[in-house]
Amino acid sequence: MRKAEDPFERVLRFIPNEEEITFMRAIRPLKKREVNRVYLRVMRDFPPIERPPLYKLHRHIRCGLMHGHLYEEEDAQAGYAFVLRSGNTPRAMLYLYAVEPEMRGQGVGSEFLRELLANYAAQDGLYAEVEMVEHARSEKDKQTRLNRIAFYEKLGFRRVEGLYYSIYGVEMHLFYKPLSAPEHPDAAQAARDAEALYRDVLRPHEMIHLKAYPI
């Protein structure tokens, strides 16, 4: 005679194991009322020289020069991004980009950036800035910069060769990912694009801090 199944065991059969549980993540535009809260994370993730003052962030978003995005998992924030756009170039710039510390190293950053690239598919392409490895302050900092380069290259970004690029004294490599147009800009075009993108968000006397030219 077949033993009757325990009702409790029947319920357990429909509860997924922990490793089977997946969380839905989604990208969405940053709302104006959320800027102050997200800026606390920007302060955590970027040194003062690499982030704009809060009032400028508000102004750039209000004027449509910068677009903010949140990447969320259920009700929790997984990451954020700010992208520069200009009517003077069909290419955009990934300006600030970060994933929550507890979610790093789990593929969340790659998922987020793929979603972000899909959002900008109508642009010719997207630039990204990475601090130069040669000027790392320590072995740990050097490895962090190498990891960033590997991250962007894995997602199809390629370094713009023959370009000197720095902003506020921070020397960087400029990487580029083609989107709607397959061509990669050369150093001269990338320099013009960077100037066009930053000219909209920097005051005239601040533009001296951007140096971009072919070498």
Residue 129 sits in a domain whose CATH number is 3.40.630.30
- Residue 130 belongs to a domain: yes
Query: Residue 7 — very low, low, confident or very high, per pLDDT cuts 50/70/90?
Result: low
Average pLDDT over residues 117-145: 95
pLDDT given at position 36: 97
Helix 108-119 × helix 139-154 angle, to 10°: 50
- Residue 15 belongs to a domain: no
Q: How many domains does the chain have?
A: 1
pLDDT given at position 4: 59
> What residue numbers bound the domain in which 115 lies?
26-214
User: Could you tell me which of 128, 114, 132 has the C-alpha nearest to residue 176?
Assistant: 128
Question: If you average pLDDT over every residue of the chain, what do you get?
Answer: 90
pLDDT given at position 11: 45
- Residue 37 belongs to a domain: yes
Query: Residue 105 — very low, low, confident or very high, per pLDDT cuts 50/70/90?
Result: confident
- Residue 6 belongs to a domain: no
pLDDT given at position 160: 98
- Residue 89 belongs to a domain: yes
- Residue 80 belongs to a domain: yes
- Residue 117 belongs to a domain: yes
Residues 6+ apart with CB under 8 A from 124: 90, 91, 178, 179, 180, 181, 183
Asked whether 96 and 83 are in contact (CB, 8 A), the reply is no
- Residue 207 belongs to a domain: yes
- For 99, 164, 185, 206, 214, the CA distances from 199, given in Å and listed in that order, are 27, 18, 19, 9, 19
Q: φ, ψ for residue 88 (rounded to 5)?
A: -95, 0
Position 104 pLDDT exceeds 80: yes
